[in-house]
Structure 1
Amino acid sequence: GEYYFLGESERIKNLDAVLEEVNGRLPVVFGCSGLSTVQSVLYARAAQKAKADAVIAMAPAAAGANLAIDMFHRIAEVFDGPIFVQNASGHSPLNGEQISQLIDDVPSIQYVKEERNPPPPHIAEVNRLAGHKLKTIFSGSAGKHIPTEITRGANGCMPACELGDVLAKIFELWWDGYEAGARDLHTRVLPLINLESHAFMRYMLKRRGVFTSLAERAPSRQLDDDDKREISALLKAVENDLNGFPFGPE
């Protein structure tokens, strides 16, 4: 979702760096969202050349459904692996019937990240019309609606990464039959999710020892001392649910 902060060459260079670091231990999905179909296809070609495991893309904002559909056809022409459709409000979203037809026409589309607002009923729509054709329907929206999205057909979530391990645990608890525990954890992490912003995400990653700097290319409102105190108080509710990278001091 923050693709516009990177230039073309550095974004492709970062793909190579990630692939080198991961070294086959995990699948690497490269984001091909761009300002135009031409740019998205450029990134898909780079993913093919670098041997990324899959690609994900949103259509350019306000481009319309026909352009969005054409973009995924063009991506499939240059990339041989699985494709994720990120279907988000404000980025030429498709309806459930259009998604179903697109999957028929482009069989390499195996995943959908559904983020039209409000997400839960749209996830249900995609699941009803195309769920049997997909490997997974993902949600997004920072994980704000995970329990009801699971009941409507989502089997994963792609949020920002500062609390990804905690949100993954919600799914694991649910899949293991502990719905009450999953809902409890979601309730405990939700106040943090509600604070999410670019500044919040960077601050959280710095507190977890992932980032060393809070610098941004497009500076947004920074957290003040009251924000940080509130975050520290809320972190106590989930500090035992982290999988590595514990929260450090302010």
Structure 2
Amino acid sequence: MSVNNHLSGTFPVIPTPFSAEGDIDLKSFKSAINYILECGVDGVVFPGLASEYSYLTREERLETTKLVGELTQGKVPFVVGASASTPEQVIEYSVHGAQAGAVCAMVMAPNKFAGDEQAMVNFYKELAQKANIPVMLQNAPAPMGAGMAIETVISILKQVPEIRYVKEETMPCGQRMEQLLAAAPDTLIGVFGGAGGRYIIDELDRNALGTVPACELTEVHKLLVDAHNQGQFEKALDLYCQMMPILNMQAIYRCSLTKQILFERGIITCPQVRDTGPKLDAKNIEELKKLYAKLDGLMPALKA
């Protein structure tokens, strides 16, 4: 949702489907985007960690970002994930995202700046000057991100007012969000949660604007965030307890699990990943199907 141009609600990360040969499957990519939009989400993010962005070539990122902009235009806000290994790449992806229709750029500081606050400030200042859209600082834990201390994040926010949002994923997320909101400058609109949605109740209870999870349980995430926003806290907690076993698996198998559910539902044609982390095996898939069955009434049945 965009209220007075402020982002809030459920913003799933769009995955990047691949063929069995490892190429991007654009038909499945469009299918995944349409699935997410049909869930009534408040916005989308692409590419993020759950998109396997670090395994995409420059050309693939530019092409798919443009396509996301086309498919979401006039429907929901699009936040472009612009994290990359060099400041030059981050700026290029942010500018390209803005041209594609993105309303915000979600960016982790390059890992090489970890521990160097002034370098991070300079990085975000340059990004803010060139991106032409507001910035969401993504504070992911190492080794994915810099895992910055809250004091460092607050210092950066005070020096770079164009950073309007933070996605806080360094543990303990909820406590850190509360500390951040208590000391942040007025230029910060608010904080989103991530981490797959595994701490979503604590985050929302501490005034998170919403969540930026992977998309395998988009229907449940949307129901949960809406219920919490409407004061239906017991309903939100029940939904959380029902999906938590799958999110527990997702913490280990990440993109492999996300894509397996999308594949079993017929949304994408292949669960292939480029990510080098742990992959589901046959016994994992059998367990996943049993856990998915516990979501009866909340999620459509698997086709397989």
Indicate whether the TM-score tops 0.5: yes
Residue 63 of structure 1 is matched in structure 2 by: 113
Q: 1:128 to 1:97 in 2, by over 3 A?
A: same
Matched length: 247
Residue 186 of structure 1 is matched in structure 2 by: 240
2:292 to 235, 242, 245: 235
Q: Quick check: 1:174 aligned with 2:199?
A: no
1:128 to 172, 182, 203: 182
Greater relative CO (CA pairs within 8 A, separation 6+)? 2
Do 1:131 and 1:137's aligned partners in 2 also have CA atoms closer than 8 Å? no
Please give the alpha-carbon distance, in whole angstroms, between the structure 2 residues aligned to 1:80 and 1:214: 36
Residue 65 of structure 2 is matched in structure 1 by: 15
1:72 to 98, 103, 124: 124
Which amino acid in structure 2 is aligned with residue 99 of structure 1? V
Unpaired segments ≥5 residues, structure 2:
1-48
Q: Quick check: 1:86 aligned with 2:135?
A: no
Runs of 4+ residues deviating >4 angstroms: none
Matched ranges for 1:105-124 at <5 A:
105-124=159-178
Q: Quick check: 1:210 aligned with 2:267?
A: yes
> RMSD in angstroms over aligned alpha carbons?
1.9
Shift, 1:199, TM fit:
1.2
Residue 282 of structure 2 is matched in structure 1 by: 225
Please give the alpha-carbon distance, in whole angstroms, between the structure 2 residues aligned to 1:135 and 1:237: 37
Do 2:70 and 2:100's aligned partners in 1 also have CA atoms closer than 8 Å? no
What secondary structure sits across from 1:137 in the alignment? strand
Residue-by-residue CA offset, 1:170-209 (whole Å, 9 max, x unaligned): 1111111211111111011100100012211110111232
Residue 34 of structure 1 is matched in structure 2 by: 84
Which amino acid in structure 2 is aligned with residue 59 of structure 1? A
Q: 1:43 to 1:54 in 2, by over 3 A?
A: same
TM-score norm. by structure 1 comes to 0.90
Unpaired segments ≥5 residues, structure 1:
none
What secondary structure sits across from 1:84 in the alignment? strand
TM-score norm. by structure 2 comes to 0.75
Q: Quick check: 1:249 aligned with 2:303?
A: yes
Residue identity (%): 27
Do 1:85 and 1:111's aligned partners in 2 also have CA atoms closer than 8 Å? yes
Q: 1:174 to 1:218 in 2, by over 3 A?
A: closer
What secondary structure sits across from 1:162 in the alignment? coil
Residue 44 of structure 1 is matched in structure 2 by: 94
